[in-house]
Amino acid sequence: MLIGENILLALSALRANRTRAFLTMLGIIIGIASVITIMTIGQAMTNSLNDEMSGLGANNITVNVSQKRSKTEMSDTGFMFRMGPRRNNMKNEDKLSLEMIEDMKTEFSDRISGVILKESVGTGTVKHLKDYANVDITGLNAVGMEKEDLEMVCGRQFTSVDQKEARKVCVVSNYMVGNMFDEDNEGALGKQITVVVNDRFYHYTIVGVYSYKEYADPEPYNKSEHYDTQTTLYLPLETAVRQNHSKNRFTEFTVIGNTGENVEDLMKDIKVFFNDKYYRKNENYEVTSSSMASMVKSLTEMMGTVSLAISLIAGISLLVGGIGVMNIMLVSVTERTKEIGTRKALGATNSSIRLQFIVESITLCVAGGFIGVVLGIVIGNIISKVMKYSAAAPISGIIISVLFSMAIGVFFGYYPANKAAKMNPIDALRYE
């Protein structure tokens, strides 16, 4: 009951001095609002990043061949140092062969659902009279084409025969068709195009047209605005391999882990498999692996650290607000000296006087904290929407902010409360 009465007394005191109370709370409001705003924006950005990365393949593991680093060495002065990568031109035998990859697929058959193999031919230009289109020529196996998730406008993707016989067929974007065939997607099917890559000419037959994500069918179509955009021209993997004369050797490929598989463990196991079995005696190169999940984890931790650092900086205003609370409580004690003397003369104990002023200080800070939380959520949501992120106010941050504002009330309210509690009732009653 004593706590309840003290809260009512505190609210009554705040109402009696509304302007002063609001100005005192302003530091708390600004501090809490700043922290909640930063945490809301940080959480929104993190969630958006996770969603985008997951969409790109959270279970995907990139396996690639990279140069080895020499072991840590010690100089004559005792300084430990690590040499950088050795400068060696990668030979064909240093690359991952198709047989190695097939061996890996067999070894981890119960943990992976597929392997994406890619071969880049390069960037080039499709030309016809004055019309042209920039393309990036990429060869993909069947799994890779499936994971590209192309939205076909017309025609088809590659058949197993296209892949096996290395047919010179291609799937192009409707964006490219807009430049070369006046947006006639159906009419482009079966047409042969010539692509110039580093002064070399490649001839392909169009079998399919996919929808380019950023292409919105402008009206009227203006070629001059769209020539410089580069889209991907897809080839069967074997076609690209033969054109590059790479003999089914790869420096990189992507493994798709099964749903529910521990990506971190699988990533490490694949790396150990290749290095122990195939690269143990290779002095210059080794196999490394990375996953989208590990990248997401690293980026999330980094963003969390940055948000925390900025929040701590913003939290400095809470310290300023706390000093303001202490100042106003000291003023309040001075103004209410006779009230304190009267209460002590009527039998109020030191602890009850102390509790009264501490509760008043906590009430002041908590009220400011709640206003700051609401303000922070509103501002954070507005900024998140402007940045086109899905806003997400962190519940843990809100709870911590409210508890922290209470802690400020106790910490900065104790000294004035203790001063009031130790006041001599006779001196207090004499105070003018």
Distance CA 144, CA 139 (A): 9
Which of 6-10, 29-33, 374-378 is the least confident region? 6-10
Q: Is the pLDDT of residue 162 over 80?
A: yes
**Residue 367 pLDDT > 80:** yes
User: How would you write 64-112 as a 3-class SS string?
Assistant: EEEECECCEEECCCCCEEECCECCCCCCHHHCEEHHHHHHHHHHCCCCE
> Two tokens at 332?
């309040």
* Structure-block tokens of residue 176: 């490219």
* C-alpha Rg value of the chain to the nearest Å: 35
Least confidently predicted of 179-188, 199-208, 216-225, 403-412: 216-225
Question: Regarding beta strands 192-197 and 152-155, do their DSSP bridges make them parallel or antiparallel, or are they unpaired?
Answer: unpaired
Tell me: the pLDDT tens digits for 269-318? Answer: 999 999 999 999 898 899 998 886 666 667 677 777 777 777 777 667 77
Lookup: tokens for 73: 């060495």
The tally of CA atoms less than 13 A away on the side-chain side of residue 407 is: 8
Q: Is the peptide bond before 218 cis (omega within 30 degrees of 0)?
A: no
Whether the pLDDT of residue 231 is over 80: the answer is yes
User: What pLDDT does 337 receive?
Assistant: 75
Q: Tell me which H or E stretch contains 16.
A: helix 2-16
For residue 430, the model assigns a pLDDT of 60
C-alpha–C-alpha distance, residues 189 and 192, integer Å = 9
Give the global pTM. Answer: 0.59
How high is the pLDDT of residue 417?
Answer: 79
The pLDDT assigned to 376 comes to 87
Question: What residue type is 275 in one-letter code?
Answer: N
